[in-house]
């Protein structure tokens, strides 16, 4: 595999502002440093993403991958991010065939910051084949606890979504952004760059995607495209997310906090251990 040349553009994730609290006192707090990043592919403007900018090169690669605009990492020669002008310049080796037609059908998603999905993605859902992955209830609890302990921009500044990729209960990557669709695209870009050694460690442990946001159709489709068969959320699931997950046989787990969770779809992938949940509280009956 020929890896693209990437810049390593860095930008502050938060900024300090002065506010007045309920006691009339002025104090300094941190807020997320949202910024716009316009993506150009072979000098053609493609899209503007609103992002924290933690890993902009991974975000751009993941966006191209999840939109199925680029099928192979070999096709990308370089990604150059310049925060001074708020632009990411993608250079491909041979161009993108029919890019005008392939980007003409655009669906505005429910993602924070108005994510977009090019309509042809919906046509590819039934061609996705997921691995035979299984997760134990004990591993699920370990994942939820790892997220609870994770240091994050959300804890210091709020107003962001967090996503993470696990292999079994081992966290491989944690990403935050103003929109969950950007966070999952960033993980997808990172995964693309790791494909050479993706199965080198713990090959029998399942890949699990975690998000603090709701499981919409976009999140379900992108997870499946990444080859992830188990998705966990602190929030719930939408009707379309549920229906697509059922079609794919993807396991979706929501409302996952502490020892509580709801398995919406793909329950055969979750190996239940009810004794670990403890005694049911009266309010749960």
pLDDT of residue 112: 46
CATH 3.40.140.10 domain position(s) in the chain: 135-284
pLDDT at 125: 75
- The pLDDT value recorded for residue 226 is 92
Rounded (10°) angle between helices 217-225 and 180-193: 0
Q: What is the pLDDT of residues 89-144, one digit of tens each?
A: 999 999 887 777 666 645 444 444 444 554 555 667 778 889 999 999 999 999 99
Q: CATH number for 5-16+28-121: choose from 3.40.190.80, 1.10.3720.10, 3.10.560.10, 3.10.20.10.
A: 3.10.20.10
Q: Where in the chain is the domain with CATH 3.10.20.10?
A: 5-16+28-121
What is the distance between the alpha carbons of residues 128 and 226, in angstroms, rounded to a whole number?
10
pLDDT at 110: 43
Q: What is the pLDDT of residue 96?
A: 85
pLDDT at position 283: 55
Can you name the CATH fold of 135-284?
Cytidine Deaminase; domain 2 (3.40.140)
Cβ atoms of 157 and 200 within 8 Å: the answer is no
Q: In the sheet where 260-265 sits, what is the strand order?
A: 170-177, 161-167, 207-211, 230-233, 251-257, 260-265
Q: Note the pLDDT of residue 200.
A: 46
Q: Report the predicted TM-score, pTM, of the whole model to 2 decimal places.
A: 0.86
pLDDT at 166: 97
Parallel, antiparallel or unpaired: strands 35-41 and 87-92: parallel
What was the pLDDT predicted at 157?
66
* 230 close to 224: Cβ distance less than 8 angstroms: no
CA 124/CA 139 separation, integer angstroms: 31
Ranges of the chain with pLDDT below 70: 1, 101-123, 154, 157-159, 196-203, 281-285
**pLDDT for residue 180:** 84
């Amino acid at each position: 595999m020929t890896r693209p040349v990437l810049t390593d553009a860095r930008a502050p994730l938060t900024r300090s502002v002065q506010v007045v609290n309920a006691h009339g006192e002025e104090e300094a707090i941190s807020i997320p440093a949202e910024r716009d990043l316009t993506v150009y592919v072979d000098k053609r403007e493609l899209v503007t993403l609103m992002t924290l900018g933690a890993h902009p090169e991974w975000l751009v690669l993941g966006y191209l991958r999840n939109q199925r605009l680029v099928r192979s990492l070999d096709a990308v020669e370089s990604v150059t991010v310049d925060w001074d002008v708020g632009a990411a310049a993608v250079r491909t080796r041979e161009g993108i065939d029919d890019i005008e037609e392939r980007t003409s059908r655009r669906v505005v998603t429910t993602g924070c910051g108005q994510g977009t999905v090019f309509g042809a993605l919906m046509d590819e859902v039934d061609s996705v084949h997921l691995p035979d992955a299984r997760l134990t209830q004990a591993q699920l609890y370990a994942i939820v606890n790892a997220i609870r302990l994770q240091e994050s921009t959300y804890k210091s500044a709020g107003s962001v979504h967090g996503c993470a990729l696990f292999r079994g209960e081992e966290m491989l990557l944690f990403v935050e952004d103003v929109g969950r669709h950007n966070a999952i695209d960033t993980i997808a870009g990172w995964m693309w760059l790791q494909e050479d050694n993706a199965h080198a460690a713990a090959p029998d442990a399942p890949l699990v995607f975690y998000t603090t946001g709701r499981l919409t159709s976009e999140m379900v489709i992108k997870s499946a495209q990444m080859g992830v068969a188990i998705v966990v959320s602190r929030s719930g699931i939408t009707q379309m997310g549920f229906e697509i997950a059922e079609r794919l046989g993807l396991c979706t787990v929501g409302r996952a906090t502490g020892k509580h969770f709801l398995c919406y779809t793909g329950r055969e992938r979750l190996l239940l251990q009810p004794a670990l949940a403890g005694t049911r509280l009266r309010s749960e009956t």
